[in-house]
Amino acid sequence: MTSEGRGTAAVPAGRPWFMVNEVVAFVVELAALAALARWGFSTGDGVAARLLLGIGTPAAAIVLWGMFAAPRARFRPPLAGVLLVKAVVLGGGVCAVHAVGHPVGAVFFGVVVVVNTGLAETFRRRALPAA
**pLDDT-wise least confident of 23-32, 34-43, 120-129:** 120-129
pLDDT mean across residues, the chain: 86
CA 49 to centroid of chain Cα atoms: 26
Long-range contacts of 21-28 (CB under 8 A, 24+ apart): 21/116, 21/119, 21/120, 21/123, 22/120, 24/112, 24/116, 25/116, 25/117, 25/120, 28/90, 28/109, 28/112, 28/113, 28/116
For the residues 33-55, what does the mean pLDDT come to? 95
Is residue 72 a contact partner of residue 64, using CB atoms and an 8 Å limit?
Answer: no
Residue extents of the structural domains in the chain: 14-126
Closest by CA position to 124, among listed 1, 22, 4: 22
In this prediction the pTM is 0.82
Percent of the chain whose predicted confidence (pLDDT) is above 90: 66
Residue pLDDT, tens place only, 5-14: 444 444 444 5
pLDDT of residue 124: 74
